[in-house]
């Protein structure tokens, strides 16, 4: 168990460093691109990005995760997984190419068709490199993953800036994104613990598809939940409003990407290795939930309360309408961080049907709410709809499923309740600073100081939780699931 903790701890450290470096770099580059392109061109690229994210959610049919969970030597299934991933991604890209004109017309941006066709070539890269990526995740090789991610991220975004300066518009973002994907994928193959090989075993293929297809369906629903808002904004409000919305969504995604994604890159493998000890597994989940809530929720509410001065100061007055969406989307980000951890926990438990049911219910409730919100109050209405559905529909469903898995609502609330209360105070302080201080930079400094103090206080309060994670799997955590 100590070996597992050491591997997971190192992997989490590398993953967090990778995320911090990547986010800081792409923030600076993203600001430059937003100012160079403006809301309309940014919205055209967003149309293409929605298409890419849609197909990435299911293009390898969910089979690559089987490598992370496989109890034996993954070499037994890796060639079959590689073949399924590559073939399915090729078929998916063919569908993307043919459907691009209809999709962009429905989004109100027919000029985005060539951008969609170019950008979605990334699904081929993703399919071919799915096995090396999964093997690196299984072996906690986050240091190597950091190198691959940073080479692709920096190379692609710098190329995008150069092309944007020549006047290529939205296409500059697509070219840079594709080039970065190719570079990252090539390094995944080079760094993989095992060489990339293709093969096919019909019996293993049937078992893999039985495992992966529900996950692929669930992932597609997860995508729809995360991106149906962009489809609706593009259709109801147009590509320029979509540009504002995507900027707000990207900002609200900062806490999710900075803190949740590093944990998600490690948590499934760590949970999987505790499957033999359910009490320790439940304790580890609760500890991670409390830790994530304490670190991220104050930051989410800071973004919400300081939305207006933040957008104006960082991106300029032309992007000010994005703040109306950011106010609500930042709150949604807090929900998403906890929901994603629950999602990973249930996947490792093998309860993918429960995950799929919750995600499907989320989608069914969300679509009419978003349409009504967009028509009634534009971008702000979309944000309000998101928060209401997350709080009134999704959260109760996940709490019920956790109860069925042996984790009571009281135990969960005891871990995340204090961070929620402190985060609410941070949000109120940030909003008050914005209302009382007319200089945006000064208001942001005051709000940021309050948030930093809150995170530090919560971090000190949760030192015991950190020690508990270091003793992952020991009886010290077993009482946490009562």
DSSP letter string, 298-333: HHHHHHHHTHHHHHHHHH-GGGTTHHHHHHHHHHHH
Pick the closest to residue 259 from 220, 221, 300, 303 (CA basis).
300
Token pair listed for 274: 């505790």
Percentage of the chain with pLDDT > 70?
83
Token pair listed for 463: 């030192």
What dihedral do alpha carbons 129, 134, 136, 142 form, nearest 10°? 100
476 pLDDT above the threshold of 60: no
Mean pLDDT of 136-158: 81
pTM of the full predicted structure? Answer: 0.74
474 pLDDT above the threshold of 50: no
CA distance 390 to 365: 10
CA distance 6 to 26: 30
CA distance 115 to 148: 25
Q: 156: how many CB neighbours lie within 10 A of its CB?
A: 22
Residue-wise pLDDT tens digits, 393-412: 999 999 999 999 889 899 99
Residue-wise pLDDT tens digits, 173-201: 899 999 999 999 999 999 888 888 898 88
Pick the closest to residue 448 from 323, 252, 303 (CA basis).
303
End-to-end CA distance of the chain: 22
Backbone angles phi, psi at 418, to 5 degrees: -60, -45
142 pLDDT above the threshold of 90: no
User: Which phi-psi region, left, alpha or beta, contains residue 167 (left: φ > 0; alpha: ψ -120 to 50)?
Assistant: left
Token pair listed for 145: 């993953």
Backbone angles phi, psi at 367, to 5 degrees: -60, -55
Four-residue CA torsion sign, 215, 218, 222, 223: positive
* Cα-based distances in Å from 50 to 104, 177, 222, 226, 268: 10, 13, 13, 10, 26
Mean pLDDT of 374-378: 96
The answer to whether the beta carbons of residues 296 and 289 sit under 8 Å apart is no
Average pLDDT of the chain to the nearest whole number: 82
312 pLDDT above the threshold of 80: yes
Token pair listed for 15: 């993953």
Pick the closest to residue 155 from 129, 134, 186, 133 (CA basis).
186
Mean pLDDT of 214-239: 79
Which pLDDT does position 469 carry in this prediction?
A: 53
455 pLDDT above the threshold of 90: no
Q: What helix, strand, coil percent values describe the chain, rounded to 5?
A: 85, 0, 15
In whole angstroms, what separates CA 52 from the centre of its chain? 14
The answer to whether the beta carbons of residues 41 and 111 sit under 8 Å apart is no
* Cα-based distances in Å from 142 to 9, 29, 145, 188: 10, 24, 5, 11
Token pair listed for 449: 């100081």
The answer to whether the beta carbons of residues 1 and 473 sit under 8 Å apart is yes
**Three-state helix/strand/coil letters over 365-378:** HHHHHHHHHHHHHH
Of the pLDDT bands very low, low, confident and very high (cuts 50, 70, 90), residue 69 is low
Residue-wise pLDDT tens digits, 150-179: 888 888 888 988 998 888 888 998 999 999
Q: 160: how many CB neighbours lie within 10 A of its CB?
A: 27
The DSSP code for 320 is T
In whole angstroms, what separates CA 162 from the centre of its chain? 27
Of the pLDDT bands very low, low, confident and very high (cuts 50, 70, 90), residue 296 is confident
């Amino acid at each position: 168990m100590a070996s597992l903790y050491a591997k997971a701890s190192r992997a989490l450290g590398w993953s967090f460093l990778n995320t911090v470096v990547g986010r800081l770099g792409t923030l600076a580059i993203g600001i430059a691109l937003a100012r160079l392109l403006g809301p309309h061109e940014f919205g055209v690229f967003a149309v293409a990005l929605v298409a890419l994210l849609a197909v990435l959610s299911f293009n390898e049919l969910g089979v690559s995760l089987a490598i992370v969970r496989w109890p034996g030597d993954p070499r037994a299934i890796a060639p079959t997984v590689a073949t399924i991933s590559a073939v399915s991604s090729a078929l998916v890209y063919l569908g993307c190419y043919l459907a691009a004109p209809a999709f962009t017309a429905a989004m109100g941006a027919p000029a985005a068709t060539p951008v969609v066709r170019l950008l979605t070539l990334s699904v081929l890269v993703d399919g071919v490199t799915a096995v090396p990526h999964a093997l690196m995740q299984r072996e906690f090789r986050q240091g190597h993953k950091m190198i691959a991610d940073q080479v692709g991220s920096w190379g692609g975004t710098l190329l995008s800036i150069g092309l944007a300066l020549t006047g290529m518009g939205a296409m500059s973002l697509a070219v840079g994104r594709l080039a970065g994907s190719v570079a990252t994928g090539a390094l995944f193959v080079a760094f993989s613990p095992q060489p990339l090989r293709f093969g096919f075993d019909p019996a293993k293929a049937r078992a893999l598809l039985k495992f992966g297809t529900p996950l692929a369906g669930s992932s597609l629903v997860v995508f729809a939940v995360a991106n149906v808002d962009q489809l609706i904004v593009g259709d109801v409000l147009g590509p320029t409003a979509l540009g504002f919305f995507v900027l707000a969504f990207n900002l609200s995604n900062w806490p999710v990407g900075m803190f949740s994604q590093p944990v998600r890159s490690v948590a499934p493998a760590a949970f999987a290795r505790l499957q033999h000890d359910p009490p320790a597994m439940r304790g580890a989940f609760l500890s991670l939930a409390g830790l994530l809530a304490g670190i991220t929720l104050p930051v989410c509410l800071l973004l919400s309360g300081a939305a207006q001065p933040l957008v104006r100061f960082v991106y300029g007055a032309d992007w000010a309408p994005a703040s109306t969406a950011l106010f609500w989307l930042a709150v949604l980000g807090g929900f998403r961080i906890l929901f994603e951890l629950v999602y990973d926990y249930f996947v490792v438990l093998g309860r993918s049907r429960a995950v799929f049911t919750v995600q499907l219910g989320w989608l069914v409730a969300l679509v009419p709410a978003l349409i009504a919100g967009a028509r009634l109050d534009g971008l702000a209405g979309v944000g309000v709809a998101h928060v209401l559905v997350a709080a009134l529909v999704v959260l109760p469903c996940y709490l019920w499923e956790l109860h069925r898995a042996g984790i009571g609502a009281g135990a969960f609330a005891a871990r995340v309740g204090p961070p929620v209360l402190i985060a609410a105070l941070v949000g109120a302080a940030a909003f008050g600073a914005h209302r009382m201080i007319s200089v945006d930079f000064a208001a942001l400094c005051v709000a940021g100081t309050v948030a930093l103090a809150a995170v530090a206080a919560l971090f000190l309060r949760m030192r015991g939780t950190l020690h508990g994670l270091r003793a992952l799997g020991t009886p010290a955590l077993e009482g946490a699931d009562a």
